[in-house]
Amino acid sequence: MNTPLIRVWIVEDHDTFRRSLQRLCTPSRGLAPARAFANAESMLSGLRTAPEEEKPEVMLLDVGLPGRSGLDIISDLHQLAPECRIVILTVFEDEAKISQAISAGASGYLLKTARAEEVAEAILEASQGGSPMSPKVARSVVNLLAKLTKPAAQPIALSPRERELLALLVEGLTAKEIADRLSVSIHTTSTHTRNLFTKLGVHSRAAAVARALRERLV
Amino acid sequence: MNTPLIRVWIVEDHDTFRRSLQRLCTPSRGLAPARAFANAESMLSGLRTAPEEEKPEVMLLDVGLPGRSGLDIISDLHQLAPECRIVILTVFEDEAKISQAISAGASGYLLKTARAEEVAEAILEASQGGSPMSPKVARSVVNLLAKLTKPAAQPIALSPRERELLALLVEGLTAKEIADRLSVSIHTTSTHTRNLFTKLGVHSRAAAVARALRERLV
DNA sequence: CGTCACCTCACCAAAATAGGTGATGCGACA
DNA sequence: TGTCGCATCACCTATTTTGGTGAGGTGACG
């Protein structure tokens, strides 16, 4: 099967680096000749005027550009070309930047230490729905995910009923609604609530909810 | 520089697959002959009796084992060998499993479709503090991270004061405490709170806190 | 068998909240 | 200039929440 060449656009302010990125987009690697831009604005206006069939499948995006931060243009990019896969190409390897880029919608994240071959492979991988990352980035991403999903050190010993009640508290129900939902009297829910407060070390429903959500008790 | 060979242990119940994993640990790849186990229990008891200098640097762990789920042994493993990097090796590629494994402390996650060379590289990468992942896994991890960090679609138009108040609500403060903190009268906080409820479409502080935390309004 | 944790229900009082109305002053915007 | 959003303060009442005490029944555990 003769797959069509992948359309790649490049945004990179450094002249020499931009040219070498452009050079690595060769038909032998499955890539069409790339359009390259020195800044985000010109790329976006190019995108606005481009007919649908010329829009890129993969965007190689340097962040750290003068002017706009590079990350906030990702949402514009997503608007103009929803199908386009975005691969960040940058010198920044801090978790904050990486996290911002990914939550903005980037699929890949390469450090500029990557060699030409790696960049070309990343473009192919991205175009196939993958998420190419430099090893250091992969490490950060896994770290971030671990941080965000790890449960509390000691999940606090709640009785089943208390856990149930806590879940309903988090839904914002009143004592009466909770009583109905659990088919018990309002006095019972009240008792449970107070016991729950003691265990959680709080003095209000709001604080209990905050604790529950923050420590993933629900 | 003559780097010492990396100590690898393997847990894999399939005999043939276990042997082929063992076979790929060769000095030419920088790997010491691996100890292999057919189940997690024997690996853990082996770990308990092993002297510190023989403990593995990288553990190749099959999840989907009979008996224990494979994921809950990661915490035990972490206890016994905190320095050991854990690489999951499995057929499961659903986001739930991946997320669980990573939050339990796995550094790498390979699908069993990986070739021997890829596994060997992954071991090296893991031992150097990296996070080797199969492409599909990388995709899932990025998706997960995007899901967890993306802000609400339309963050609801709150006035600055209301945002401030919401943050204090989330801390579980009472109206009076909030009034003190903001240096206004309790009546003012009360008014703000009511307006806030209207905007958030809730009828209780608990629900407001739940909404705020869930939609990352704070 | 005693004890303990859990779930259930009840009564009580002080405190806080929910929800409404109204009023003032300020700055922005057309 | 008028209007509007915002922040501020006030008064009102009904309802809810908080916090205490007590108490009956269950099942598990030693």
pLDDT in tens, B122-158: 999 999 999 999 999 999 999 999 998 876 666 678 8
CA distance A43 to A11: 7
Does the distance separating the beta carbons of B102 and A145 come in below 8 Å? Answer: yes
Q: Show the tokens assigned to B11.
A: 């847990």
Output the CA torsion B9→B12→B15→B18 (10° steps): -40
When the candidates are 1.10.10.10, 3.30.43.10, 3.40.50.12780, 3.50.50.60, the CATH number that belongs to A149-215 is: 1.10.10.10
Q: Which residue of A has its CA nearest to B149?
A: A103
Res. A143 pLDDT band, cuts 50 70 90: very high
Q: Which residue of B has its CA nearest to A214?
A: B213
Does the distance separating the beta carbons of B205 and A205 come in below 8 Å? Answer: yes
Establish, for the pair of chains A and B, how many residue pairs have beta carbons separated by less than 8 Å: 121
pLDDT (0 to 100) of residue B4: 85
Residues 136-195 of A with CB under 7 A from strand C: 157, 159-162, 182, 184-185, 187-188, 190-192
The residues pairing with B151 across neighbouring beta strands, listed in sequence order, are none
Nucleotide nearest to B185 (CA to C1'): D9
A172 touches strand D (CB under 7 A): no
Q: Which residues belong to CATH 1.10.10.10 in chain B?
A: 149-215
pLDDT (0 to 100) of residue A88: 95
Q: How many Å lie between the alpha carbon of B210 and the closest alpha carbon of chain A?
A: 6
pLDDT (0 to 100) of residue B64: 74
- Find the residue closest to D11 using CA and C1' atoms: B187
Is residue A126 scored above 60 in pLDDT?
yes
- Extract the residue ranges of chain B whose pLDDT is less than 70: 1-2, 65-70, 151-155
Q: Are B25 and B34 in contact (CB under 8 A)?
A: yes
Res. A69 pLDDT band, cuts 50 70 90: low
Q: Which parts of chain B fold into alpha helices (H)?
A: 15-23, 40-49, 73-80, 95-104, 116-127, 135-149, 160-170, 175-182, 186-200, 205-214
At the fourth CATH level, the homologous superfamily of domain A8-135 is Response regulator (3.40.50.2300)
pLDDT (0 to 100) of residue B26: 96
Chain A residues inside the 8 Å CB shell of B125: 135
Q: Are B165 and B197 in contact (CB under 8 A)?
A: no
pLDDT (0 to 100) of residue A183: 94
Q: Which residues belong to CATH 3.40.50.2300 in chain A?
A: 8-135
Chain B residues inside the 8 Å CB shell of A210: 170-172, 209, 213
Summarize pLDDT for A189-201 with one digit per residue, the tens.
Answer: 999 999 999 999 9
Summarize pLDDT for B75-100 with one digit per residue, the tens.
Answer: 889 889 999 999 999 999 999 999 98
Mean pLDDT across chain A, nearest whole number? 91
Res. A73 pLDDT band, cuts 50 70 90: confident
Is residue A1 scored above 80 in pLDDT?
no
Which residue's entry shows tokens 């069509």? A4
Lowest-pLDDT choice from A55-69, A82-96, B30-44: A55-69
Chain A residues inside the 8 Å CB shell of B149: 99, 102-103, 148
Of A129, A150, A172, the CB nearest to B207: A172
pLDDT (0 to 100) of residue A217: 80
pLDDT (0 to 100) of residue B160: 92
